[in-house]
Structure formats: structure tokens, C-alpha cells
Amino acid sequence: MPTIFSLVRHGTYALLDDALGGRGAYPLSQEGHAQAVRVAAALSERPIATVISSPVQRARETAEPIARRLAVAVQIDPAFAEIDFGDWTGARFDALHDDPAWRRWNEFRSTARASGGESILQVQARAIAGITRLAAAYPQDEVAIVSHADVIKAILMHFLGVPLELMRRVEIGAGSISLFVLFDTDVKILVINLPA
């Protein structure tokens, strides 16, 4: 039986578009909280059985109003944590611009590794393992997962059969919803990057 997954990117926070927040403890901005409320309203009529969140603060803060609206508890799952950016965590994008390792990361993602951190292949493997585990636990239900842009992209690239080098062609905006149905033998991507 199919499991429906709603993949939610956390809301806006202070460093968004300026620096690499990574797994840092950065709270949602006022707009980020408003996005979380809009996502909660958008998902409130769906038969969601559980809300899963990355352990990172901005994801948890996005998950809380969704879970409250659905009257379920938030479950924290490190499978959907932000990429471990290691030495780059908190670095401004303009400061990374001249770093050859940063250029490799952006040009040939499947072979690159964040400086002192994870590769996108490791991220994709842990996220898909998490999806597989949740599909087994909720075989006829809908699951909402609050995570991060590149983690969501890595999941979608896997199920679309698209190389990770092309993931930059997909936009996953703050506070957006992507939706797919996972069957025993197939998958259907229904929505990508729907703003709430």
C-alpha cells in the first residue's frame, strides 16, 4: 500500500541566502514563523499520521505548528538533518566564493564533500533510508517531514532518477511543500516546491 510523503522545507531564518547555516542553532525569523503557520494551515486537511523533523532548530520550529494543528507529536529524526557542512558552517557565501573545495562542491556534487563534513551521497543515503523506514512503519498513511532544501532535493533526485549534479536546477523555497506517493514498486511525484 502507498505512503504519501509531504516534504516541507523549514521557514526563513536570518542567514538564509547570505551564509551557510548548516546545523547551527538559528531560529526562524518573523517571516519564517508566518511561513510555518501557513504550511500548517495548508496541511491541516490532509490525513497526516505523523510529523517528522530534522533535529535542527529552524526545522523543529517549523514542525511545531504543523503538529499542533494536526494534534500529533513531532518526532525528531536525524535521517533528515541538514548536511553536515563541517568547516563551512556559518560561513558567508561571499567568503566561500574563492575556495576551490566550495567550487567543486557546487560543480560536481556527487563526488565532492563539504570541508570536514558530509558528501551529498551520504546525505541522500541516510534520507532515503529514513524514507524507507517510514514507509514500512506507515504503509497506508501520510507522513509530513520537515527538512532542508538540499536534503529534500536529494530525496526527489533519487525518486526521479536524476543525477545529483542537476539538483541545482530544482528550487525548494523556504516554507514550501513537495509531495510524492511511494508504492511498493513505483513512485509518483505530485508536487515540487509548492509555496504555502
Active site residue 10: yes
Interatomic CA distance for residues 56 and 139, integer angstroms: 27
* 8 Å CB contact between 31 and 162: no
Strand partners of residue 185? none
For the question of residue 61 being annotated catalytic, the response is: no
Whole-number Å distance between alpha carbons of 143 and 146:
10
Q: How many CB atoms lie within 10 A of CB 88?
A: 22
Closest to 16 (Cα-Cα) out of 148, 137, 109: 148
Q: Which among 61, 82, 118, 142 is annotated as catalytic?
A: 82
Q: How far is CA 196 from CA 15, 36, 52, 183, in A?
A: 21, 9, 18, 26
Closest CA to 10 of 50, 65, 49: 65
Instruction: From the candidates 10, 33, 142, 148, give the one annotated as an active-site residue.
Output: 10
Catalytic residues: 10, 82
